[in-house]
Amino acid sequence: MMDAHGHAIVTRGLNLWYGPFQALIDVTAGIPHGLITSLIGPSGCGKTTLLRCFNRVNERFAYVRTTGAIELLGKNIYDPDVSLIELRKAVGMVFQRPNPLPISVYENVVFGLRIHSRRASLKRADLDAAVEQALTEVGLWKDLKDRLQVRATTLQLEQQQKLCIARLLPLKPEIILMDEPCSTLDVDGTRGIEELMFALKGRYTIVIVTHNMAQARRTSDECIFMLLGKVIEHTRTADLFLSPKSPRTAEYIEGRYG
């Protein structure tokens, strides 16, 4: 689903405060449906805070206050009738460090289904099919189909991170948020996650926070450059890197600060 302009997420005048500190300042942006959008900028610029607004996970902290709107699939997620459970089914999140549950591969994949469904409605054949489909989508089925009962925390880091993505898929999310998903991986692991992002693109809208300029350039269709809580520039990735409109963008991608 998307709005009339092809956006999966639209922020309008979004502001966020951690206590007295304003971390996001009048953020207005449209994130395209079915593409990969990178949030880039120096540490402390607000990119992770913005990412975590999209599933309202910042609100776990009582000292966080927001104003403005985030329209996700055409509805303001701050409307009082929005269910956080349903929102977080539609907007899955992958973190910097792989965080599989210390249970079997199989139970990791069906964990969300077990939480969000009535137990009586879950048939073993449906769970088996969900596991096979999710692991196939992330490229793990071939390697793990005979190891579904092994403890997920014993897998290689790349496999653990792919499993964390697979865990989201049975809930049929529209959007996948990735907060520096390759920061703990080696070169091969990073390549594996990036190839998976390409494979998932189209079926899912992907938003990734990354400090790695080469990764942003390789993987994303659009980039949003942030500085001190503000969106400085948002355009196609190729245009941002080849002909940035703002001198501040040019300084950042040329490595003068950040």
Nearest C-alpha neighbor of 94 from the set 10, 33, 172, 183:
183
* Domain-embedded: residue 137: yes
Q: Is 231 a domain residue?
A: yes
Query: What range defines the domain where residue 33 resides?
Result: 7-253
* pLDDT at 60 (0 to 100): 84
Looking at the 3D structure of the chain, how many domains does it have? 1
**Does residue 28 fall inside a structural domain?**
yes
Is the torsion defined by CA of 240, 242, 246, 251 positive or negative? positive
pLDDT computed for residue 1 by the predictor? 56
pLDDT at residue 59, rounded to an integer: 85
Q: For residue 46, which of 226, 173, 224 has the smallest C-alpha distance?
A: 226
Q: Which residues of the chain have pLDDT under 50?
A: none
CB 24 within 8 A of CB 229: yes
Query: Does residue 258 form part of some domain?
Result: no
First to last CA, the chain: 35
pLDDT (0 to 100) of residue 106: 97
pLDDT digit string, tens, across residues 137-168:
999 999 999 999 999 999 999 999 999 999 99
Q: What is the pTM of this model?
A: 0.94
108 found inside a domain: yes
| Distant-in-sequence, close-in-space partners of 103: CB < 8 Å, separation ≥ 6 | 111, 151, 152
pLDDT given at position 258: 53
Phi first, then psi, for residue 170 (nearest 5°) are -60, -20
Structure tokens at 162: 């792919």
> Is residue 152 a contact partner of residue 104, using CB atoms and an 8 Å limit?
yes
What residues form DSSP beta bridges with 177?
93, 207
Domain assignment present for residue 208? The answer is: yes
In a domain, 2, yes or no: no
Summarised one tens digit per residue, pLDDT across range 166-185 is: 999 999 999 999 999 999 99
Give the CATH number, domain containing residue 203.
Answer: 3.40.50.300
What pLDDT, on the 0 to 100 scale, is given for residue 2?
A: 56
**Number of H-type helices and E-type strands within the chain:** 10, 10
